[in-house]
Amino acid sequence: MKAHVVVTLKPEVLDPQGKAIGQAAGSLGYDGVADVRQGKFFEVELDAADRGTAERLVDELAEKLLSNPVIETYRILAITPS
């Protein structure tokens, strides 16, 4: 199975890279960009017998390894057959 996970900074954490991207977008004429938050995208290949096992595995992986729970949150976007 394959899982897609997005990790982003928590809303209360300052995101200087996102702020710089937002300002650059404005200076390039993209006036409709109100805010930018940067993050990380992971595509994880899993050896799991079934979807439930895959969900538990990727949730634990995201919580313990892919994200820093003090300053980041994660979302599992999809778990699909490989």
pLDDT tens track for 7-40: 999 999 999 999 999 999 999 999 999 999 999 9
How confident is the model over 34-59, as a mean pLDDT? 96
Is residue 46 scored above 90 in pLDDT? Answer: yes
Reading the block at residue 13, the tokens are 């954490």
Residue 9 sits in which domain range? Answer: 2-80
pLDDT at residue number 8: 97
Is residue 82 scored above 90 in pLDDT? Answer: no
| CA separation for the pair 29, 75 (Å, rounded) | 31
List residues bridging with 5 in a β-sheet. Answer: 42, 76
Give the whole-number percent of the chain exceeding pLDDT 90: 98
Q: How many domains does the chain have?
A: 1
How confident is the model over 50-67, as a mean pLDDT? 97
First and final C-alpha spacing in the chain: 5
CB 45, CB 28: distance < 8 Å: no
6, amino acid identity: V
Please give the model's pTM, rounded to 2 decimal places: 0.87
Q: What is the CATH number of the domain that holds 28?
A: 3.30.1280.10
